Structure 1
């Protein structure tokens, strides 16, 4: 695909593409078919330092920003892989980096950077509250030097491949706070200890190879020293992680979009029907070209969101808009790719149907496109709140 733009991250991309090339489509296809976790691929990314991109050098990381982390996620998806297996470590890092104590950072970050510990899970969503986070029902009650947690979470990913988990719970009853966003606190949970006492995991089968679960907490005890930041200010803290998450998901969608465009452009140039390549027909060209244009536009918003995040500026609107634009563009590219492959698009060996399923997720998660529209309407355009 022709592109005259000078890319300041080209060296990163080249290194990532070389690593990803060691794990070809057959590798990812096999894990999708067997619903297994690509352990070797994640270990390779970890050992090469890519999943520690945002950890400062003093704690054993690369000292890079969300901008560079987003390039990592993009390249994984552009290579035909699925960054959903490891992206949690990137955005969960933001909460610990920005709001954890110095003692917490010095203890955990070097171990995360080396791969000794994995921080892949964030437990926020609940069955009855969804995106209405301030009404979550999971409670953490202080008892001496511990908090006791009771409640339930859903759609909590990669618990089976995490040593640590970010948990958002209510520490002050909703009826006792002035603002409904008050009274929520964040904790760092030792997953292995929790699994032995107080936390039960119920895996959820789904249409993509995405490891996700229901969690049940029954008097789970968490040491008070595992509280991140100040008690009752967790909602504000978690927003950093959510903005990072949406920006990284946008990058993944952009990677998917380029994968679909590259794949379908090659196919329609080679596929001969009625003595001519089908890519010669404008009815084929136009949907592909439009999808590519929209991916390029989403790419610009992704970098704007990442830049603002790295500069400690408000980036909520940009992160949400980047996620919506990128999710729409990747889905548009996916539809064109599947359509113009015809029957072959449904054949597993072409990988189109696998990537098609994977990118469809991002119309819904981590926040649906409709909720992003509501956010922009209220917080950017100043329209009356719709819910």
Structure 2
């Protein structure tokens, strides 16, 4: 075992030990009450994990994507599921554009606060009329003396109930058919509730972490709150898409492992017709198949993360990691439902929570179909279909 392997093993063990201090009943209650898991976040902040990918000079640990992916996979696998993983995830990935393209003043002012868990962010990109076609967002920023005034609407914005600042994408020049992704600017500004109305969306899963609609009315933003160059905001977001897709896949396979662990225990103990149901191949084989698929998804996730950390192209691998992790994770949760039979609907068994949460990540942050579109055109060279 190499030194690198030993370090990753330490990351895995440390994250697992900390995450499992919060048991399944803790997460069931957070889900039932739709209550943000602040105790859990605080524990990970105190251990330094929120700043895992923030450089040491800004108060972080200075680790790579590989370590962050392992940590978040262990969080999900602990039984925290998507609620726990998302609560940590949104301290690690939304700051990416600030870290790569923000001014030095911006980095010094905010990255240490994020690493310490003092500053929670929201990420304002998605709009109800645009969907996955980000080039057609209609939120606009109009130039003023020394700043900008923003008006528009966003949807499915995580953390907006509690976030203090927002990374907000807006059009600063009209859309051009020849360059549809130009002319969007990324702002890092206060989530001013006098100018931004936040309405929570009631949803099926990941209830402990809020999702919201935002209505933006004459929000004033300073020039020094522009991330990078005006008009290049979408391209700055692209820098964060590959690492986020890798980690989402790793979180999802962790969620699948949590469900598989409970299903195996139940199949070993549940006796029907005088024998444990796990003795029946109709029960055992699907669970074995899920284990294989989860292991394969992790290999792709680790390959993609390794390429990213080595600063090598990883678009195909990142998309494949998201696809495989989401498919394998959901399938494991669905098979755990089948294994538990009618008891899967009882909240005391936790399976229904895993199932609800795993379904979300086949859609977000990018749908499986858009991953297949990417592979079809960018990897296989087929004609573009969208």
Q: Scaled by the length of structure 1, what TM-score is found? A: 0.94
SS in 1 for 2:128: coil
Q: Give CA-to-partner distance per residue, 1:58-85, whole Å, 9 cap, x none.
A: 1110000111111121111101003122
SS in 2 for 1:137: coil
- Alpha-carbon distance in 2 for matches of 1:309, 1:92: 17
Q: Counterpart in 1 of 2:57? A: 58
- Alpha-carbon distance in 2 for matches of 1:352, 1:346: 8
Q: Counterpart in 2 of 1:3? A: none
Q: 1:7 to 1:324 in 2, by over 3 A?
A: farther
- Alpha-carbon distance in 2 for matches of 1:107, 1:356: 40
**Kept after mapping to 2: 8 A contact 1:94/1:244:** no
Q: Counterpart in 2 of 1:157? A: 158
Q: Counterpart in 2 of 1:108? A: 110
- Alpha-carbon distance in 2 for matches of 1:309, 1:170: 29
**Kept after mapping to 1: 8 A contact 2:245/2:322:** yes
SS in 2 for 1:55: coil
- Alpha-carbon distance in 1 for matches of 2:340, 2:362: 22
1:313 to partner: Cα distance: 2.4
**Kept after mapping to 2: 8 A contact 1:53/1:62:** yes
1:178 to partner: Cα distance: 4.6
Q: Over aligned residue pairs, what C-alpha RMSD do you find?
A: 1.4
Q: Counterpart in 2 of 1:170? A: 171
Q: Counterpart in 2 of 1:187? A: 187
The 5-angstrom pairing of residues 273-352 of structure 1 reads 273-352=272-351
Q: Counterpart in 2 of 1:232? A: 231
Q: Give CA-to-partner distance per residue, 1:294-335, whole Å, 9 cap, x none.
A: 111111111122122222222222221111111100111011
Q: Counterpart in 2 of 1:124? A: 125
* Correspondence 1:206 to 2:203: yes
- Alpha-carbon distance in 1 for matches of 2:332, 2:370: 22
Q: Give CA-to-partner distance per residue, 1:209-246, whole Å, 9 cap, x none.
A: 04101111111111110101111111111012222221
Unpaired runs of at least 5, structure 1 = 1-5
SS in 1 for 2:61: coil
- Alpha-carbon distance in 2 for matches of 1:314, 1:200: 39
Larger deviation, residues 203-212 vs 308-317 = 308-317
**Kept after mapping to 2: 8 A contact 1:100/1:228:** yes
SS in 1 for 2:311: coil
Q: Counterpart in 1 of 2:134? A: 133
* Correspondence 1:84 to 2:98: no
**Kept after mapping to 1: 8 A contact 2:120/2:159:** no
- Alpha-carbon distance in 1 for matches of 2:309, 2:123: 21
The 5-angstrom pairing of residues 24-35 of structure 1 reads 24-35=23-34
